[in-house]
Amino acid sequence: MLSKLKLSILIGSFLILAALPMITEAIDEPFYIDLMARVMIFSIAAMSLDFILGYGAMISFGHALYLGLGTYAVGIMAHYEVTNGWLQLLVCISGTAFIAFILGLISLRTSGIYFIMITFALAQMFYFLGISLEAYGGDDGLPIDTRSEFFSFFDLNDAWNMYYLILGTMTVTAIVLWKIINSRFGMVVRGSHSNDARMQAIGFPTMKYRLAAFVIAGVVCGLAGFLLGNLTEFLTPEYMHWFRSGELMIMVMVGGMGTLFGPLFGAFAYLMVEDFLANFTEYWQFYFGPMLIILVLFAKQGLWGMLPGKEDMSDE
């Protein structure tokens, strides 16, 4: 089980997030709603990456691809004036699942450095594809004129509705992934993380379970992209760029790899630090690069991992 401290932090964070729109209205700083909505979207993406990276030891260096695919799903359909949210969602889920399945089939045949390089290259392929698609704005991207339409009483143009949709998705995603990690399926994924040969010897054809996990992570990240497209009202290949994949990995590491809830805070910490440094200097990466190296070398367990309370890798 989660330690009391961690459980309180999770519930506390949720309550603060739930109350945030009211607070920002009271202090008249609506900007923070948008900022936190963004943070939460990246939290979802980072969690999905941690699901395969931290629990399944699949070091995917192209995970932002699915973030981009999600925005393309919304954007392209909106471009053709299909604004029905349910339909968009269906296309988003089946599209990301299909692409994750094909890419997983190719990349999971390999391991180690090969896997990293292949996921990296295949994601870049889609980035370059996005750039070459002039019909959808090429590298300039394309504005999304209309946000997804779900219910007549739930208009996503309303900032609060958008915000609560994102908060809701994040919460549900965290709970669902948590259940999966501790289910029979999750045990197989985690087992093949620590010793794949052993898993096969006791009778698991691990490849299909790893592939399924890879697809689940892709779809969840695609959902984050779906929300991102709606929030930013913009479609751009830039979200598929390897740099974004690197950022997602940083969020996972900063939060704590293999702790499902760590990346929620990792995304928050990373985006805040980026924001802070960028305000302070034009060359923020000049400072952030060495900081990252030092973090990797000395603070590997991440924020969530630093919290007291010994726990095993399943975070229970």
Rule CB under 8 A: choose which of 7, 90, 129, 306 binds other proteins.
Answer: 129
Q: How far is the CB of 80 from other proteins (least distance, A)?
A: 15
Rule CB under 8 A: choose which of 186, 256, 266, 302 binds other proteins.
Answer: 186
Residue 300 CA to residue 316 CA, distance in Å, equals 20
Q: How far is the CB of 62 from other proteins (least distance, A)?
A: 11
Q: How far is the CB of 255 from other proteins (least distance, A)?
A: 13
Residue 40 CA to residue 17 CA, distance in Å, equals 10
Q: Which of residues 63-92 bind other proteins (CB under 8 A)?
A: none
Q: Should residue 197 be labelled a site residue for other proteins when binding is judged by CB under 8 A?
A: yes
Q: How far is the CB of 233 from other proteins (least distance, A)?
A: 25
Nearer to other proteins, 117 or 307 (CB): 117
CB 257 within 8 A of CB 56: no
CB 99 within 8 A of CB 221: no
Alpha carbons within 13 A on the beta-carbon side of 11: 7
Q: Which residue, 119, 9, 137, 13, is CA-closest to 66?
A: 119
Q: Should residue 280 be labelled a site residue for other proteins when binding is judged by CB under 8 A?
A: no
Q: How far is the CB of 77 from other proteins (least distance, A)?
A: 18
Q: Should residue 172 be labelled a site residue for other proteins when binding is judged by CB under 8 A?
A: no
Q: Which of residues 205-234 bind other proteins (CB under 8 A)?
A: 205-206, 209, 212
Alpha carbons within 13 A on the beta-carbon side of 119: 29
Q: Should residue 270 be labelled a site residue for other proteins when binding is judged by CB under 8 A?
A: no
- Residues 6 or more apart whose Cβ sits within 8 Å of residue 238: 68, 139, 141, 244
Find the part of the chain contacting other proteins (CB under 8 A) among 10-18, 63-71, 83-91, 196-204.
196-204
Helix (H, G, I), strand (E, B) or coil at 165: helix
Helix (H, G, I), strand (E, B) or coil at 145: coil
- Mask for 10-39, x = binds other proteins (CB under 8 A): ------------------------------
- Which phi-psi region, left, alpha or beta, contains residue 145 (left: φ > 0; alpha: ψ -120 to 50)? alpha
